[in-house]
A and B are shown apart, each in its own frame.
Chain A
Amino acid sequence: MNNPMLVLGAILVLAVGTFSLRIAGPLLRSRFEVPVRIQQMMSAAAIVLLAALVATAALTDGHTHAGIARPAGVLVGAVLAWSRVPFVLVVVAAAATAAGLRLLGIP
C-alpha cells in the first residue's frame, strides 16, 4: 500500500473538500436574496443532475456501456414507476430483473 500518512492526508483533503462542496449551497443561499427565476433554475439543476445520474448509472459502466441486465432492470423499474406502482415494488422489480437475467447468463 501507499505510505499510510499520505493516504490519510489525501482522505482528509477529500473529506474537507467534499464537506465544503456540500455546505457551499446552504451558505451562499443564506447570504444573498435569490430572485424567483434563479430559484426555479436551481431546483431544475438538481433534477437535471439526478436525471443524468440515472441515465449514466443505468446505461454506462466506466467509459463503456453497462451490458444488458442492468439497463433492462432499470427499464422495468421506470415502467412500473411511470404506472405509479409503489416505490418498494419498483426497486425490488428492478433488482430482481437484473439479477434474474444474470442468473440466465445474460451480463
Chain B
Amino acid sequence: MRSIWRTLDRGLARDIALVCLADGVVGISYGAISVGGGLDLWVPVVLSLLVFAGASQFLFVGIVAAGGSPIAATIAGLLVNSRHVAFGLAISDVIGSGWRRLPGSHLMTDENVAFAIGQDELRQKRAAYWACGIGIFVCWNVGVVIGALAGSVITDTDAFGLDAAFPAVLMALVLPALRDRATRTAALIGAGVALVAVPFLPAGLPVLMALVGLLFYRPVRTGELEGVR
C-alpha cells in the first residue's frame, strides 16, 4: 500500500484528488435525490457500498423511487455496468493477481480505468488505479451518506457544471491513447454508433454498441514497423 503513494507523483495525486472530490459532490446529490424521491436512507447507502457504480445507482434509484419494479431496476443497472467486462479484460494486469483481484475489481470505475490507461508504466498505472479507486470509494460513500442525511442541500449538480466536468475528465485521460491512429479510428466510429443508438436503445446499450468500432481496428503489426525502419 505504501508503494502506491511513493509511485504517485504530486501532479498525478492532485489530479486524482480533484476527481475524487467531484465524485463526492455527485454522491451528495445522489443521496439527496434518493431520499428526496421517497426512498429510505439505507437504500442509496447500501447501493453505494455494495454496487459502487454511479450511473447504475442513479438509474436504480430513479426507477424504484418512481414506483417501478425493483427487478427492472436491477436489469437496467446490470446493462449499464456490463462495460466493466471489457475494462477488466483490458486492465487485468493493472489490478494484479491473487487476492488483490477481489477489492481491485470492486473498485473498478470509469475514472480509475481511464487514469490507469493514461499512465505510461505498469507501476504508475497500478498506483493511479488503486489510489483513484480507493479515493473515489471513500469520497463517494461519504458523500452519499451526507446527502441522504442532509436531504435537499445539493440536488442540482448541473448548476456547478459537474455534468460537463465528468466527460471532460474521461476525455482528458483518454486523449493520449487516441494518438494511435488505429485506436482513434475505432473510437470515433464507435462513438458515432453510440450516439446514433441513443434515441432507440435503453441506457447502457448505446455505449456497448460502440464496440462495433473494433471491426475497423487495424493495428500496425510489429513486423510491419520493422519493415519501415
Contacts and interface: CB of A to CB of B under 8 A. Distances in A.
B1 interface: no
Contacts of B171: 54, 58, 74, 77-78, 81
B64 A7 contact: yes
Interface string B83-126: 11111111111010100011011101010011001000000000
A26 interface: yes
A74 B40 contact: no
Contacts of A104: none
Contacts of B106: 19, 22
A53 B207 contact: yes
Contact of A17 (B39, B78, B158): B78
Given A51-B190, A81-B168, A82-B175, A24 B51 contact: no
B186 interface: yes
Tell me the interface secondary structure of chain B in the complex: helix
Given A7-B70, A19-B106, A22-B108, A51 B160 contact: no
A37 B9 CA distance: 32
Contacts of B162: 95
B101 A23 contact: yes
Interface in A53-98: 53-60, 62-64, 66, 69-74, 77-78, 81-82, 86-88, 90-98
A9 interface: yes
A71 B195 CA distance: 13
Interface string B16-39: 001100100000000000000011
B81 A52 contact: no
B191 to A, nearest CB: 4
B54 to A, nearest CB: 11
B175 to A, nearest CB: 5
Contact of B71 (A10, A95, A97): A10
Interface of A: 1-2, 4, 6-15, 17-19, 21-30, 37, 40-60, 62-64, 66, 69-74, 77-78, 81-82, 86-88, 90-100, 102
Interface of B: 11, 14-15, 18-19, 22, 38-40, 43, 46-47, 50-53, 56, 60, 64-65, 67, 69-71, 73-74, 77-78, 81-93, 95, 97, 101-102, 104-106, 108, 110, 113-114, 117, 158-175, 177-178, 182-183, 186-188, 190-195, 198-200, 203, 206-211, 213-214, 217, 219
9 pairs of A and B residues whose beta carbons are closest in the complex? A25-B88, A73-B164, A77-B168, A52-B210, A98-B161, A10-B70, A94-B168, A95-B161, A99-B161
13 contacts: A11-B70, A22-B87, A30-B92, A44-B217, A46-B86, A46-B117, A50-B117, A52-B210, A53-B83, A53-B167, A54-B171, A55-B194, A59-B195
